[in-house]
């Protein structure tokens, strides 16, 4: 899958221009924006519906982890890739555990097109799910039992079981453990550091 529109969240114009130049060369439309708070990002995601989001780790008013927290609920099928000058091991692990698909160091920007394509492919299955199925998947991954999920979402137990069965079918998985692994890997559930 080739991305058609990528949202770049970066306050540094030179860095954003460099990213745009790299992606434009392979035919990707780039929207460069500075976002100062989660609500502004929610509005932007609704308006642009990007295929992927690129964010510096801490190089903008909204950190990569803040952006991931918005994406988790607003647009879970949209991957986020951290593009940064440098990042320490603890910060890298934190971003990946929080749902970032990849981290690209600026001196390796040539990796960006393939990293974006891979990230979109990994998230593609989430795009096949309804909003309710994503909610059920998130709650399953958080460790809630069927009855608890039914109570939380005001559904019958049978409906929750039906959603879980449909999740397995659409994601090509055969057990709850695989669903949980996928939800954790996709960042639907934030992992504590």
Give yes or no for residue 13 having a pLDDT over 90. Answer: no
Torsion of CA 147, 152, 157, 160, to 10 degrees: -120
Classify 113 as helix, strand or coil: helix
Specify which residues 9 forms β-bridges with.
33, 55
Shared domain for 21 and 113, answered yes or no, is yes
Domain termination residue (choose one: 75, 96, 124): 124
Confidence of residue 192 (pLDDT cuts 50, 70, 90): low
Determine, yes or no, domain membership for 191: no
Task: Read off the pLDDT of residues 69-108 as tens digits, 9 standing for 90 and up.
Answer: 899 888 999 999 999 888 888 888 888 888 899 999 989 9
Shared domain for 117 and 167, answered yes or no, is no
The model carries a pTM of: 0.85
Specify which residues 105 forms β-bridges with.
84
Shared domain for 139 and 95, answered yes or no, is no
d(CA 182, CA 171): 9
Specify which residues 29 forms β-bridges with.
5
157: domain range?
129-185
Give yes or no for residue 6 having a pLDDT over 70. Answer: yes
CATH number of domain containing 138 = 1.10.10.10
């Amino acid at each position: 899958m080739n991305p058609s529109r990528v949202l770049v969240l970066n306050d540094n114009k030179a860095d954003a221009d460099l990213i745009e130049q790299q992606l434009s060369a392979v035919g990707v439309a780039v929207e460069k924006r500075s976002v100062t708070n989660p609500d502004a990002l929610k509005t932007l995601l609704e308006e642009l519906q990007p295929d992927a989001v690129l964010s510096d780790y801490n190089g903008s008013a909204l950190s990569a982890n803040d952006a991931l927290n918005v994406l988790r609920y607003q647009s879970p099928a949209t991957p986020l890739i951290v593009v940064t000058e440098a990042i320490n091991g603890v910060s890298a692990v934190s971003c990946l555990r929080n749902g970032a698909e990849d981290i690209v160091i600026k001196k390796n920007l040539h990796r960006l097109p393939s990293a974006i394509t891979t990230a979109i492919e990994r998230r593609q299955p989430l795009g096949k799910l309804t909003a309710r199925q994503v909610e059920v998947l998130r709650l399953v991954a958080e460790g809630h039992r069927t009855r608890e999920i039914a109570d939380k979402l005001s559904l019958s137990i049978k409906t929750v079981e039906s959603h879980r069965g449909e999740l397995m079918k659409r994601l090509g998985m055969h057990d709850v453990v695989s669903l949980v692994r996928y939800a954790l890997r996709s960042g639907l559930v934030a992992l504590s550091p």
